[in-house]
Amino acid sequence: TQLLEQSPQFLSIQEGENLTVYCNSSSVFSSLQWYRQEPGEGPVLLVTVVTGGEVKKLKRLTFQFGDARKDSSLHITAAQPGDTGLYLCAGDKAAGNKLTFGGGTRVLVKP
């Protein structure tokens, strides 16, 4: 059982549709990050959320940190083929220097 559970594991949608990816845990995190990874490359940081209830927007991507800092969601509005990739959430439990990653959500946006 992973400390951070992501759902769904795979999501296939048509261009223009909306999607939401969830990252859940029973543990409290001091901060939570979202990464996107493309095939053959390393993950790239999209955003860090640190305050319970925090909402951050990055163009068509909206990230939310749960009030209790145990969960997070990523919402993409009007998805585009360029949004295709593996989305990973990662939590830092103790404001230290180690991250715990979720299992990832593979998103496919069809043109």
Partner 1 sequence: NAGVTQTPKFRVLKTGQSMTLLCAQDMNHEYMYWYRQDPGMGLRLIHYSVGEGTTAKGEVPDGYNVSRLKKQNFLLGLESAAPSQTSVYFCAIMRDRVSDTQYFGPGTRLTVL
Query: Which positions from 48 to 87 touch partner 1 by CB under 8 A, shown as an x/- string?
Result: x---------------------------------------
Candidate residues 18, 41, 57, 60; the one interacting with partner 1 per rule CB under 8 A: 41
Query: Would you give the DSSP letter of residue 39?
Result: T
Are the C-beta atoms of 86 and 63 separated by less than 8 Å? no
Residues 35 and 99: their CA atoms lie apart, in Å, by 12
Counting Cα atoms < 13 Å in the Cβ hemisphere of 76 gives 25
Measured from the CB of residue 104, what is the shortest distance to partner 1 in angstroms? 5
Candidates 12-20, 41-49, 62-70, 71-79: pick the segment binding partner 1 (CB under 8 A): 41-49
The residue (of 17 and 41) whose beta carbon lies closer to partner 1 is 41
Cβ neighbours around 75 below 10 Å, total? 16
Candidate residues 28, 45, 68, 108; the one interacting with partner 1 per rule CB under 8 A: 45
CA-to-CA dists, residue 25 to 9, 21, 68, angstroms: 15, 14, 10
- The residues of the shown chain that bind partner 1, judged by CB under 8 A, are 2, 4, 6, 9, 31, 33, 40-45, 48, 88, 90, 92, 96-104
